[in-house]
Structure 1
Amino acid sequence: MGESTVGGARPPVTDPFDAVPELAPLRTAAWDGDWEATQAFFQKIPSADDVSFAAALLAGVERTEWFLEKAAKAQPTDPLPRTLLAERYIHLGWRARGHASGDDVPWDRAEQFHDWLRKAELLLIEVCAEHPAYVPAWTARLPTARGLVLGQSEARRRYDRLAEHHPHHFRAQSQLLQQLCPKWGGSWEAAHGFAQECTNAAPDGSLAGVLVAQAHIEHCVDLTGAKVTEYLRDVAVRNDLRHAAQRSVLHPHHRPGWHRIEGHSTFALAFSLGGHLEDAARHFTALGDTASESFWRYLPDWKTRFTEYRTAAPATL
């Protein structure tokens, strides 16, 4: 039997490998422990942004570290296998940590978390020293900086080194945005300011506008009580989201790529929580039966909420 339905609506497809068919060969190569096929997949990726996207995706495939470790030893001067291995260690570290706030993470989980991140950091330091323009490695060093509590200045230094070579790298911007939130020692002024800065600097149709929605969602979940609803219902916030969506995933120059599901999912969530279902409808339409859980997972039983909002949104048009 397939997944159960909610109100007659099938829950969304959340696995990127299933939602984006062209990614399936990477999963097959990972399952087979086939380094040659994995390397060939990455060699065909035209942009550094998509390399980082695929690297993070590969990191979530179970038991891949053994063949990545072999590849890193076999090709000690190639930055790709070491970066992919570091991404896997980072994934294992954050999974060990869990989603609890900093003070609530048990000490043993915190130790595992830091051990994995330190292993990743050692690999990435080597890669960045040998290949200072290798953007995927600098991107991976942003979550290690955050997890190892290296501070705002160090995180920004790493991002600036990356931006010298790729000024509109969406995954790197999204990672730095997390660092700039208060939960990691930043401020809402810094987080919103960075999101707007990236959006204003990026070409029309880029993904940078999605950062505006990410910042508003993070701000919203940091609130309590009635303030949660009031925040995203605010007309100024709604207009900010509309402008960001029009500059990014709804712009005529936007070219849907591997990040499109995350982009539309983020806007769909922000508009839905704010009660702006007409605005959310365009993003649900673009998503179809797919969704990214990256920000929706902040909601309890998020798949049910997603299908409820998706069903309600078109009725407002």
Structure 2
Amino acid sequence: MSGGPEVLLDPGAAYPEFAPARAAMQARDWPGVRRLLDATPPGLRSGIIHTCGEEQQDAEFLTAVVRADPADTTAAAMLGAHLIVVGWRIRTAASADQVSRRQFAKFHEWLRQAEAVLLEASVVNPRDPAVWHELLISGRGLQVGRSEVLRRYDRCRLADPHHLPAQQSMVQQLCPKWGGSWELVHSFAREQMLAAPPGFPQAGLVADAHIEHGYAGVKHEAMTAGAFRKYLQQEAVRAELYDAAQRSVWSPEFRRWYGWEWAASSFAMVFALLGDDRGAGHLFGLLGNVATTQPWEYLGVPTWQIRKYRKRAGAWR
């Protein structure tokens, strides 16, 4: 098998389009950024926009671009992503009862700034899925309500029917921790899988939904493999995961579309925990050195967990 013990968590390892976009951002070459992103498929475009917004040290450059051209919704989406990420860093990933009132106040302040930019952009260009994707994230943090969240998702879906970043956000939104239910989460994930063409990574949403469900039942900061394995071993859960894998990562039509490494990584984790070394090994082999932080961080430090389980699956010895 190709590859080795290195674990590459950066999305640029999976998508070469990240490197020139990052270089253009570092050089503050906005026309260069636009040329690259305008030629990029919608899902990957949203992924690059969010990552570049996350990596910006401050909002000054993007704010200037938006002010100079309010019709540039690419810049608005990236600025919104930056403001959202700043807010979430203040809040942290801790459970709500572990977040102080001051943290929540600052968190909401940054999200409201993002909403102001993004909502204006959504009026300027309602067909930009990256704007709606970021509005789903800010809306979740501000708890805008399910009807408004569904409205935002529907607008994104009109712009791009299989917009994976928005679908991933919706899986989170529909979890009980954000006011949803497991029935809603699993139903949504399966509907998106069935609506997507064969081989598309949307089946990873089914794995994602089960990972979230299993994690919610563990009362520790890091999911214990044993507790999660017990959830996965339920007959209905196991059957649904294998069916989903057959429709995507194990399908002869599976290609390296945006989200391929996330779907492969999610299925690799669940099959590794189920003790299916052959199934997990196939996916680790497909991934090579490429990896994703999610869902592995639920088990602990991602690089350690990935090395452990891919070695156990026989991907590298």
Per the alignment, in what secondary structure is the counterpart of residue 295 of structure 2?
A: helix
1:26 aligned residue (14, 21, 33): 21
Counterparts in 2 of 1:181 and 1:86: CA distance versus 1, 3 Å: same
Identity %: 37
Shift of 1:112: 2.0
Q: Within 1, Cα distance between the matches of 2:28 and 2:115? A: 24
Q: CA deviation at 1:310?
A: 0.4
Establish whether residue 233 from structure 1 lines up as the match of residue 228 from structure 2: no
Partner in structure 2 of residue 44 of structure 1: 39
What is aligned with 2:223? none
Structure 2 counterpart of 1:89, from 83, 87, 100: 83
* Structure 2 alignment gaps of length 5 or more: 220-225
Tell me how far apart the structure 2 counterparts of residues 286 and 313 of structure 1 sit (CA, whole Å): 13
* Matched letter for residue 30 of structure 1: M
**C-alpha distance in 2 between matches for 1:181 and 1:74:** 39
Give the Cα–Cα distance (whole angstroms) in 2 for the partners of residues 154 and 274 of structure 1. 38
Moved more, 264-273 or 172-181: 264-273
Retained in 2: the 8 A contact 1:87–1:120? yes
Question: Residues of 2 paired with 1:206 and 1:127: CA distance?
Answer: 29
Structure 1 stretches of at least 4 aligned residues deviating more than 6 Å after TM superposition: none
**Which one-letter code corresponds to 2:195 in the other structure?**
A
Alpha carbons 2:201, 2:249 under 8 Å: kept: yes
Q: Conserved in 2, the CA contact under 8 Å of 1:17 and 1:27?
A: no
Q: Which residue pairs with 2:193 in the alignment?
A: 199
Q: Post-superposition shift, 1:273?
A: 2.4
Change (3 A) 1:11 1:105: farther
Instruction: Kindly provide the CA deviation profile for residues 41-66 of structure 1, in whole angstroms up to 9, marking residues without a partner as x.
Output: 11221x22221111112122131522
Residue aligned with 1:314, SS: coil
Q: Counterparts in 2 of 1:62-77, with a 5 A limit?
A: 62-63=56-57, 65-77=59-71
Q: How does 1:252-271 map to 2 (within 5 A)?
A: 252-271=252-271
Question: After alignment, is 209-218 or 29-38 more displaced?
Answer: 29-38
User: What is the distance in 2 between the residues matched to 1:25 and 1:65?
Assistant: 20
Is the CA contact 1:18–1:24 (under 8 Å) kept in the aligned structure 2? no
Structure 1: how far apart are the matches of 2:9 and 2:116? Answer: 32
1:34 shift after superposition: 2.2
With over 3 angstroms needed to count, the CA separation of the structure-2 counterparts of 1:64 and 1:36, relative to structure 1, is farther
Greater Cα shift, 240-249 or 210-219: 240-249
Gaps of 5+ in 1: 1-8
Asked whether the equivalents of residues 238 and 271 of structure 1 are also in contact (C-alpha less than 8 Å), the reply is no
Given that residues 33 and 64 in structure 1 are in contact (C-alpha distance below 8 angstroms), is that contact kept between their aligned partners in structure 2? Answer: no
- How many residue pairs are counted as aligned between the two chains? 307
The match for 1:306 is 306
Which amino acid in structure 1 is aligned with residue 16 of structure 2? P
Q: What do residues 203-259 of structure 1 show as CA deviations (whole Å, max 9, x unaligned)?
A: 111121010000010011111376533111223322211211221232222220342
Q: CA RMSD in A?
A: 1.9
Q: Which stretch of the first structure deviates more once superposed, 232-241 or 194-203? A: 232-241
Residue 278 (structure 1) shift: 2.2
Segment drifting more, 190-199 vs 51-60: 51-60
What is aligned with 2:285?
285
Separation in 1, partners of 2:33, 2:49: 10
Q: Secondary structure at the match of 1:290?
A: coil
1:176 is matched with 170
2-structure distance, mates of 1:37, 1:129: 25
Q: Structure 2: which amino acid aligns with 1:180?
A: L
Report the Cα distance in structure 2 between the residues aligned to 1:290 and 1:113, rounded to whole angstroms: 32
Greater CA drift, 183-192 or 238-247: 238-247
Q: Tell me, in whole angstroms, the C-alpha distance in 1 between the residues paired with 2:116 and 2:151.
A: 17
Question: For 1:224 and 1:87, how far apart are their aligned partners in 2?
Answer: 30
Asked if 1 retains the 8 angstrom alpha-carbon contact of 2:49 and 2:81, the reply is: yes
1:129-161 Cα deviation digits (max 9, x unpaired): 122222211111111111001122221121112
Shift of 1:20: 3.1
**Alignment check: 8 A CA contact 2:56 2:82 kept:** no
Amino acid at match of 2:36: F
* 2:222 counterpart residue number: none
CA distance in 2, matches of 1:69, 1:294: 30
Q: Which of 120, 127, 131 is residue 125 of structure 2 equivalent to?
A: 131
Amino acid at match of 1:148: L
TM-superposed deviation, 1:93: 1.4
